[in-house]
Amino acid sequence: MVDDGASSRATDLVSRVLSGEQRAMARLMTRVDDRATGHLQELQELHPHTGKAYLLGITGTPGAGKSTLVDALVSLLRKRDLRVGVLAVDPSSPFSGGAILGDRIRMQRHALDPEVFIRSISTRGQLGGLSRSAQDFARVLDAGGCDVVIVESVGVGQDELQIAEVVHSTVVVLAPGGGDDIQAIKAGILEIADVLAVNKADREGADATLRDLEGMLSLGEGPVRAGVGHGLAAAPGSVQRAPGEQGDADPGWRVPVLKLAAQRGEGVEALWQACEAHRAHLHGSSAGQQRGVRRRQAEFRRAFRELLHEDACERLGDKLTQAVTRAGDGTDPYALALALIEGLRGTTQPT
């Protein structure tokens, strides 16, 4: 590659990220978002400098108080002099984008702290974009010297399951009562929990929710780190966690259920200790190490799928545009897609 100035600027950007400069980190994230020429090269240059950060997912039912908890966690981590990154996932929407940013106002007391980096992730409607962005941004934050990267995601759904694949540990936050916890179980959100927290513990029903969760855990009806993406079936009635060949089932980890009043800062210390215990467990157990392998493999699969699609779109150019038009007019999408793929197969490009 010719050193045409662009690549030396890129290298410059990478070194600035590696020296922990916030503005450089923000700029590289924007380049990733824009799929700017050279961003893949830059991400690859960061790779050898990653693997130090602890990636922590915070997810849960709507209204459970996730943002408040994240805010309290950041304060706690700053007191320990740790560098913190926060990635706030917001479902793809121009409207909610604004609303979610409003939420971030609460975080403003950290906004001027040079050791705290806060960024929203939006998918812009790109399916799979969320976990890819989270993964790329976490790479930038990790290389930029963040000790902890918190990924906060809203709501329940497929995206949250995917986010759980990006992070090391996942905290699921619930609010007491309201039947929402039952719904959450149905939606599979509990299954991704490494740590369970019942927030707003001063509210009525908190103890009942806590007991429900603990009951489910001891009956083996509860959380099973169920190998997202592997279709692992949990053995019915199994105690704690189901054994599985491919899944994330981990008989050595008992999911703690904690009470929180994040707004008053109560229970946040204990929550962080539970996260650190889980982190130690991941390092120290073969199940934990296997999970790391699966996490990296999932990362690769996502990257492959995305880059394959981008490459094909680039090569097809006008042909793709024409197919989109014909699809809009009512031609069978499968017939159109198969014809394009057939065409790509027959095209050899000089490498």
Pattern 114-133, its own copies, x by CB under 8 A: ---------xxxxxx-xx--
Pattern 213-232, its own copies, x by CB under 8 A: -----------x-x-xxxxx
DSSP collapsed to 3 states, 320-341 = HHHHHHHHHHCCCHHHHHHHHH
Pattern 48-77, its own copies, x by CB under 8 A: ---x---------xxx--------------
Other Cβ atoms within 10 Å of 160 Cβ, number: 24
Closer to its own copies at the Cβ: 281 or 291?
291
265 to 294, contacts with its own copies by CB under 8 A? Answer: 293-294
| Residues 240/246/248/249 CA torsion (nearest 10 deg) | 10
User: CA 144, CA 136: separation in Å to the nearest integer?
Assistant: 12
- Please name the residues in contact with 8: beta carbons below 8 A apart, sequence gap of 6 or more: none
**Structure-block tokens of residue 122:** 């939006």
4 to 33, contacts with its own copies by CB under 8 A? Answer: none
89 to 118, contacts with its own copies by CB under 8 A? Answer: 90-96, 98-100, 103
**Interface with its own copies includes 342 (CB under 8 A)?**
yes
**Interface with its own copies includes 319 (CB under 8 A)?**
no
With contacts defined by CB under 8 A, how many residues of the chain interact with its own copies? 97
CB of 270 to its own copies, least distance (A): 26
Sign of CA dihedral 287, 288, 292, 298: positive
**Structure-block tokens of residue 277:** 């215990």
User: CA 78, CA 75: separation in Å to the nearest integer?
Assistant: 5
User: CA 198, CA 210: separation in Å to the nearest integer?
Assistant: 7
When binding is defined by CB under 8 A, the residue of 12, 207, 276, 311 that contacts its own copies is: 311
Closer to its own copies at the Cβ: 123 or 169?
123
CB of 312 to its own copies, least distance (A): 5
**Interface with its own copies includes 36 (CB under 8 A)?**
no
When binding is defined by CB under 8 A, the residue of 234, 262, 268, 282 that contacts its own copies is: 234
Find, among 125, 50, 29, 59, the residue nearest to 296 by Cα.
50
